[in-house]
Amino acid sequence: MEDLIGRTFGGYELKEHVGAGGVASIYKGFDERLSRWVAIKVVPIQVAGGLNEETMLARFRLEAQAIAALRHRNILTIYGYGEEEGWAYIVMEYVPGGSLADRIKSGEPFTWEQALTIIIPVSQALAFAHDHNIIHRDIKPANILMPQDDWPLLADFGLAKMEHSARPNLTMPGQVLGTMAYAAPEQIQEGEIDARIDIYSVAIVLYELLAGRLPFEGETSFDFLMARLTDPPLPILPANPKVPAAFGPILDKALAQDPNDRYQSMVDFSQDLIEVRYQLSRSAYQDNAHEPTSVMGTQELKQTKAVLKLTANGQQLPTSNQEVLVVGRAHKSSVPDIDLAPHGGTKAGVSRRHSRLLREDNKWYVEDLDSTNGTFVNGTKIEPHKKVAINKGDVLRFGQIELEFGLEN
**What one-character DSSP code corresponds to residue 365?**
E
**What one-character DSSP code corresponds to residue 327?**
E
DSSP string covering 223-289: HHHHHHHHSPPPPHHHH-TTS-TTHHHHHHHHT-SSGGGS-SSHHHHHHHHHHHHHHHHHHHHHHH-
From the list 229, 173, 178, the residue with the least C-alpha distance to 200 is: 229
Percentage helix, strand, coil for the chain under 3-state DSSP, each rounded to 5: 30, 25, 40
Q: Which of 138, 156, 198, 339 is catalytic?
A: 138
Distance of alpha carbon 235 from alpha carbon 256, whole angstroms: 12
Give the number of other Cβ atoms within 10 Å of residue 142's Cβ.
20
DSSP string covering 143-160: GEEEEETTEEEE--TTHH
Give the number of other Cβ atoms within 10 Å of residue 380's Cβ.
11
Give whole-number Cα distances, 362 to 32, 320, 403, 408, in Å: 55, 15, 20, 12
Residues in the chain: 409
User: Which stretches of 8-60 are assigned E, i.e. beta strand?
Assistant: 8-9, 12-21, 24-31, 36-44
Catalytic residue flag (residue 138):
yes
Q: Which residues partner with 185 through β-bridges? A: none
Cα angle vertex 106, ends 20, 125, to 5°?
55
Yes or no: say if 287 and 406 are a contact pair by the CB < 8 Å rule: no
Distance of alpha carbon 198 from alpha carbon 266, whole angstroms: 8
What are the residue numbers of the active site?
Answer: 138
